[in-house]
C-alpha cells in the first residue's frame, strides 16, 4: 500500500433509514451535501447508493445522475463509485443502469460483489454469470470495478476473473468484515484475506456495525485504506446509544490518522495508482493502446 490512507466514504447504503438515524442522507441534495462536508474533512472516493423519495433503494440512471451532477459541479476530481448491489434487485439491466451515464456524469467505478452471501435478514444474490456479465460490462464501458469481498472465497474468485480476462490490474478491493455469515472482524480473518490478495492490489478495510471503528483503526495502523460511513454503521459509540453522522465518523478517523502522522490520499493520487482518468471532465478507466 502507501503511507497516504485511502478513505472510501459510504454515506448512505440501502439499509439505514431516517427512523433508525435521522442523519442518514436520502435525497440527492442530502447525499451531495454530506459528500461536500466529507470532502472538507478529507476523503479519497465516494461509494454512492441512490434512494427514492420514500427512502427505498433506487437503481435508475436518472437518480444516480442527479446525485453525480450535484457532486461534480464542485468536486471534479473526486473518485465516484456507483453501487451495483444485488440485495434487492436481480435483473442485470436494473443493476447496471447507472453505468451508461456519460460525460461529466460517468462514474469512475462500479461496485462488484464477487459472490452471493447472506446478511442478517437478507441475501445478496450474485450468481457466477451475473458477476461475469457485470465485470464484462464494466470493462467494455471503461469503468473500474470496486471489488467487494466478504470472505476468502471471493478473493479466489477475483483471481479466477483476472485469469479469464474479466478484470485487470491494478485491483481495488473493499474487504468488509463482521457480517454474521462471512469473514469475522478479527486479526486472523483479516490477515488471511490481505495475504491472499493478488499482486498489484489496493484495498480498504471496513467493518459492519460496531466493528467499523476496529477495522478502520487497524487499517490506519497498517497503512491500508479505510471504508467508512453510515452505510455500514449508524452509531457513534460501541454501545449503540448515540446516532452518528457521517461527518463525526470521518472526523474520528482523521484524528486517528493525525495521531499517527498520516494523511488522507488525494483523489488525484488515487486516480494515478488505479490508472483512472484524471477527472475534470475525463472519468473512468484509462485504456492503453495494447488494450484497445
CB-CB contact of 64 with 143 (8 Å): no
Identify the pLDDT of residue 33: 98
For cell 449508524, the residue is 234
Identify the pLDDT of residue 289: 54
Residue 1 CA to its chain's centroid (Å): 17
pLDDT means over runs of 10, the chain (292 residues): 87 96 98 98 98 94 98 98 88 95 98 95 92 98 98 98 98 98 97 98 97 98 97 96 98 97 98 98 84 54
Identify the pLDDT of residue 89: 81
Length of the chain, please?
Answer: 292
CB-CB contact of 174 with 147 (8 Å): yes
Q: What is the CA angle 84-67-280, rounded to 5? A: 95
Question: Which domains does the chain carry?
Answer: 7-291 (3.20.20.70)
Helix (H, G, I), strand (E, B) or coil at 45: strand
Q: Structure pTM?
A: 0.96
Identify the pLDDT of residue 121: 86
| Bridge partners for 111 per DSSP | 146
Our CA dihedral for 66, 71, 74, 79, rounded to 10 degrees, sits at: -130
Identify the pLDDT of residue 195: 98
Identify the pLDDT of residue 288: 66
Task: Report H helices in the chain.
Answer: 28-41, 61-72, 92-95, 128-140, 152-163, 187-195, 211-221, 246-259, 267-273
CA distances 244 to 40, 57, 224, 229, Å, are 18, 21, 23, 9
Longest dimension (CA), the chain: 55
Amino acid at each position: 500500500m502507501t503511507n497516504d490512507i485511502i478513505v472510501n466514504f459510504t454515506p448512505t447504503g440501502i439499509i439505514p433509514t431516517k427512523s433508525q438515524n435521522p442523519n442518514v442522507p436520502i435525497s440527492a441534495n442530502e447525499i451531495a451535501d454530506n459528500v461536500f462536508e466529507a470532502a472538507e474533512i478529507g476523503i479519497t472516493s465516494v461509494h454512492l447508493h441512490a434512494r427514492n423519495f420514500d427512502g427505498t433503494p433506487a437503481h435508475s440512471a436518472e437518480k444516480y445522475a442527479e446525485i453525480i451532477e450535484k457532486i461534480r459541479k464542485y468536486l471534479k476530481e473526486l473518485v465516484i463509485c456507483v453501487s451495483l448491489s444485488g440485495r434487492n434487485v436481480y435483473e442485470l439491466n436494473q443493476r447496471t443502469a447507472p453505468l451508461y451515464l456519460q460525460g461529466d456524469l460517468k462514474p469512475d467505478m462500479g461496485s462488484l460483489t464477487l459472490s452471493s452471501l447472506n446478511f442478517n435478514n437478507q441475501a445478496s444474490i450474485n450468481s457466477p454469470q451475473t458477476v461475469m456479465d457485470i465485470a464484462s460490462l464494466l470493462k467494455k464501458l471503461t469503468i473500474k470495478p470496486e471489488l467487494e469481498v466478504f470472505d476468502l472465497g471471493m478473493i479466489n474468485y477475483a483471481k479466477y476473473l483476472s485469469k479469464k480476462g474479466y478484470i485487470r490490474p491494478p485491483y481495488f478491493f473493499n474487504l468488509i468484515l463482521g457480517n454474521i455469515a462471512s469473514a469475522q472482524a478479527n486479526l486472523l480473518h483479516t490477515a488471511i484475506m490481505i495475504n491472499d490478495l493478488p499482486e498489484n492490489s489496493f484495498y480498504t478495510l471496513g467493518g459492519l456495525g460496531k466493528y467499523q471503528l476496529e477495522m478502520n483503526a487497524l487499517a490506519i495502523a497498517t497503512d491500508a485504506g479505510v471504508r467508512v460511513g453510515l452505510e455500514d454503521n449508524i452509531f457513534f459509540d460501541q454501545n449503540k446509544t448515540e446516532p452518528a453522522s457521517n461527518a463525526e465518523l470521518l472526523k474520528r478517523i482523521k484524528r486517528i490518522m493525525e495521531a499517527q502522522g498520516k494523511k488522507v490520499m488525494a483523489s488525484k493520487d488515487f486516480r494515478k495508482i488505479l490508472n483512472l482518468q484524471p477527472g475534470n471532465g475525463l472519468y473512468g478507466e484509462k485504456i492503453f493502446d495494447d488494450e484497445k
